Amino acid sequence: MPRVTVVGSLNMDLVVPVPRHPRPGETVLGGDLRRVPGGKGANQAVAAARLGAAVRMVGRVGRDAFGHALIENLKREGVDASGIKALAGASTGVALISVDEGGENAIVVSPGANARLGPEDLNPRDLEDAAVLLLQLEVPLETVAAAARLGRQAGARVVLNAAPARPLPDALLANLDVLVVNAYEAATLLETKPPEGPKNALAAARALAQKVPEVVVTLGERGLVYAGTEGEGHLPAFSVRPVDTTAAGDAFTGALAAGLAEGMGLKRALRLGAAAGALAATRPGAQPSLPQREEAEALLEGHAPD
């Protein structure tokens, strides 16, 4: 079975539904608190596993109840958690998430043990059988850069979801095969204003494709654009009614990684990712919202290819 190795973050999401997000200095009464396994790395690991990939997760948690719960949850999902260590003296990462009535979220992350995953913690054996190495930016940048180098040396296809937004060194970009960003993240890398609409986003993707072979810019309800060596174009979004968009991007990226690990072409893998992201937005929570392969395939079968 094709393997996806994920080097990234694990968080416990503390989620509160709100009628609207508060303005600065304002208190808004919300609904009942929910504790939901999350973290971009762990979310994408679960997404890839549910889409059919064999997945190994590399990361750090605290030696606490949240950390234990996150590891056990990954094991239940069939993810190899042998690359995750629980650290004494560190708290497990936590995300504070408010979700409004339209399904839009606002997130504050306390990295905790995620910030202690260093380059020296990376074991090349975790990458030697990976078809795809999947990275994000919720662990230290130097660790992401080191992982990308190791992934390239191991022959894996290196995919970076460059979130949260931050500038990236050219040395890291040079070790990537696929870069996934939203409009704001693309603007951060290009030092421009966020592109509005598919046409401007495609121009941004082309600019980024000067440094990375394949670039994907996601646009939410407007779909996504892609540019690079496998062609370029715009894929519209699937029409769904959003409930909670918290992990929609992670569902997309994890499914994309699973598709690429199977040997799919980029456009087919992007469609699989788009279906997974759309389904995730229709359900509350992070990992609980991530769809199974048969659900994504059913959505795809209801839509003719572009």
And the tokens for 207? 């600019």
Find out whether 260 and 131 touch, Cβ atoms under 8 Å.
Answer: yes
d(CA 70, CA 285): 14
Q: What is the DSSP string of 68-115?
A: HHHHHHHHHTT-EEEEEEEETT-PPEEEEEEE-TTS-EEEEEE-GGGG
What are the phi and psi torsion angles at 158 (to 5°)?
-95, 120
* Size of the chain in residues: 306
Find out whether 42 and 84 touch, Cβ atoms under 8 Å.
Answer: no
- CB count, 10 Å around CB of 152? 17
Find out whether 55 and 132 touch, Cβ atoms under 8 Å.
Answer: no
d(CA 289, CA 275): 13
As annotated, the active-site residues are 250
And the tokens for 194? 């966020």
**Does residue 305 have a cis peptide bond before it, meaning omega lies within 30 degrees of 0?**
no
What are the phi and psi torsion angles at 197 (to 5°)?
85, 160
Cα angle, residue 148 at apex, residues 144 and 149 outer, rounded to 5°: 120
And the tokens for 75? 């094991």
What are the phi and psi torsion angles at 54 (to 5°)?
-80, 125
d(CA 74, CA 59): 12
β-bridge partners, 225: 217, 234
